[in-house]
Amino acid sequence: VASKIIETRVYEGQKPGTSGLRKAVRVFMQEHYTENFVQAILQSLGEQLPGSTLVVGGDGRYYGKETVGKIIKIAAANKVKKLIIGQNGILSTPAVSTIIRKYKTQGGIVLTASHNPGGPDADFGIKFNCENGGPAPDHVTNKIYEITKVLKSYKIAPDVTVDIDKIQSTTIQVDGSPFIVDVVDSVNDYLEHMKNIFDFSSIKALLQGSNSHLPFKILINAMNGVTGPYIKRIFINELGVDNSSVVNAVPLEDFGGLHPDPNLTYAKGLVNAMKDGPYDFGAAFDGDGDRNMILGKKAFFVTPSDSLAVLAANLNSIPYFKKTGVKGYARSMPTGAAVDRVAAKNGIKIYEVPTGWKYFGNLMDAGHLSLCGEESFGTGSDHIREKDGIWACLAWLSVIASLKKSVEEILLNHWQTYGRNFFTRYDYENCDSEAANKMMQHIESELEKPGFVGTKLTSEGKTYIVKLGDNYSYTDPVDGSQASKQGLRILFQDGSRIIYRLSGTGSSGATIRVYIDSYENDPASLTKDAQEVLKPLVTVALEISKLREFTGRDAPTVIT
């Protein structure tokens, strides 16, 4: 078959955010809109494009299959040699990263808006991952964006169609050269990778009750997202749990109306089932499978910042790290600093990077980093270049199997050893963009005032003395690349922190995030409620920012 060139027009605003281009489905459905962005991704590959192999798959949300069809035709016309596509267009974000690395492809295209709701009236997204398996770094996404601003046409081979519901390999002659589409099982490569990382037999022993504290019951909730097929294979087929332990495990185009974000607000189903049920351990994942929430008995909540620290302290329970050693830890800047204390104690290097997984990749590629995480329910390691929800769940089960303690006991012991970083994040979703920007300007001008350092801020009898206030910027220690304006920070003398950021993953309006992190080592405080402990600092944060005045909001929409 032959390819042709289609004239198009430039669409404004095709600028990838924290994690790819995310917009309402309706925006992607505009004539040529999706085609333009796919063409721009391919063109950004430059000389690597002709003869390349790319991975394609997504979280199963509405408009995913149509987009796979378009990518097949556009890739064929752009001289891509081969596409590896997940059956039904299904691949979790961690699976895409796994497949890119395993088959050494030039990259992959992930069709997801992650934790944003799906369906015709909700969101869609397209993200490019590079040959290391990780989200494209800023210099690549900037290049893609620059191309979208001047694109006049795209190439397409309209007659290339492949049935992606069937596992098969198809070769089609396009402009006289062979173009191959391999439709592959969505789970196989990922499952094999997990089996090489973890000791499945010890996890199985735990889950089947042959460990000391029997029976150990788990509940895994896929939130109707992409992880369904993965957790069925892993937990039911491989680890032998019964069907009732795995819920919402069929990927749905609209996630069954759920907001597939595993936190205490949106994963209420899991939280309630854990509160009332007989379960020792619960986990939920987001739409594309890279986020995780871990709960213990009676819905005991593990904050992601603590989860990272506990895993850091116990990596020797996982065979993979026994082989590779522990090279370093990292967290995103707003993430609670609990892992820093593990690093200090173990004499292991800790890195702080801006929000977004793309900043961890260089450190991993250079061999500086084994384990990293974000407060936003992202945990992962250098086994791939994305955060990985199911990996985090298996890591936790490995630690439990090895320590033979409950989730709550593990946390208590951890805090007794290291002290506790109390952490909370307040999200104000869908604020007026102009108001949010004005608020950020206001905060920045406060931080810049001479004399801000040393200011005493008092609330409810607690006084915090400002040590530093700035707009966070980062220099990558590997390639020297810089990222500026990554969040407004106020650091206090006692190590407490307040951070303000605007989200880069929303599709409408502005989402303001306020992060609060505070350290306590008084044994009497360790088991207190985080909201109670952090209340004075939250009050300080709201006062400095004048958030109520600027946005008219009395309360956050989500607290994590």
Residues 4-33 close enough to bind ligand VG1 by CB under 6 A: 18-19
Query: Site residues for Co ion, window 280-309 (CB under 5 A)?
Result: 286, 288, 290-291
Closer of 73 and 358 to ligand VG1 (Cβ): 358
Instruction: Tokens for 211, please give them.
Output: 């460990």
- Stretch of 80-88, 284-292, 410-418, 471-479 lying at the interface with ligand VG1 (CB under 6 A): 284-292
Running DSSP on this structure, what letter comes out for residue 11? P
Please give the structure tokens belonging to residue 284.
């939920």
Considering only residues 372 through 411, tell me which ones interact with ligand VG1, judged by CB under 6 A: 374, 376, 378
Q: Shortest Cβ distance from residue 557 to ligand VG1 (Å)?
A: 13
State yes or no: residue 227 binds ligand VG1 (CB under 6 A): no
Q: Beta-strand (E) ranges in 297-375?
A: 301-302, 329-332, 350-353, 371-374
Distances in whole angstroms, Cα of residue 155 to Cα of each of 6, 171, 175: 6, 19, 12
Q: By C-beta, is 78 or 503 nearer to ligand VG1?
A: 503
Q: Which long-range contacts (CB under 8 A, 24 or more apart) does 549-557 make?
A: 550/435, 550/436, 550/438, 550/439, 550/442, 551/428, 551/431, 551/432, 551/435, 551/436, 551/439, 551/512, 552/435, 553/428, 553/431, 556/426, 556/427, 556/428, 556/514, 557/427, 557/428, 557/429, 557/430
Q: Which of residues 327-366 bind ligand VG1 (CB under 6 A)?
A: 332, 355-357
Q: Which does 376 bind (CB under 5 to 8 A by kind): ligand VG1, Co ion, none?
A: ligand VG1
- Nearer residue to ligand VG1 within complex by CB, 119 or 504: 504
Question: What is the number of residues in the chain?
Answer: 560
Q: Which bin fits 371, alpha (ψ -120 to 50), beta or left (φ > 0)?
A: beta
Measured from the CB of residue 290, what is the shortest distance to ligand VG1 in angstroms? 5
Rounded Cα distance, 144 and 39, in Å: 9
Q: Is 509 in the site for ligand VG1 (CB under 6 A)?
A: no
Residue of minimal CB distance from ligand VG1? 114
Given the residues 97, 114, 376, 398, select the one marked as catalytic.
114
Q: Is position 114 annotated as part of the catalytic site?
A: yes
* Neighbouring-strand partners of residue 458: 463
Which residue number, 53 or 227, has a Cβ lying nearer to Co ion?
Answer: 227
**Are β-strands 82-90 and 53-58 bridged in parallel, bridged antiparallel, or unpaired?**
parallel
The Cα–Cα gap between 116 and 288 comes to 10
Please report whether residue 374 would count as binding Co ion according to CB under 5 A.
no
Q: Does 291 bind ligand VG1 (CB under 6 A)?
A: yes
Query: Should residue 263 be labelled a site residue for ligand VG1 when binding is judged by CB under 6 A?
Result: no
Q: Min. distance of Cβ 357 from ligand VG1 in angstroms?
A: 5
Instruction: Compare residues 124 and 464 and give the one whose CB is closer to ligand VG1.
Output: 124
Could you give the C-alpha distances from 402 to 226, 341, 348, in angstroms and in order? 29, 22, 22
Site for Co ion in 113-132 (CB under 5 A): 114
Amino acid at 237: N
Compute the distance between CA of residue 310 and CA of residue 415 in angstroms, rounded to an integer.
10
Chain residues that interact with Co ion, rule: CB under 5 A: 114, 286, 288, 290-291
Chain residues that interact with ligand VG1, rule: CB under 6 A: 18-19, 114-115, 286, 290-291, 332, 355-357, 374, 376, 378, 503-505, 513
Report the catalytic residues: 114
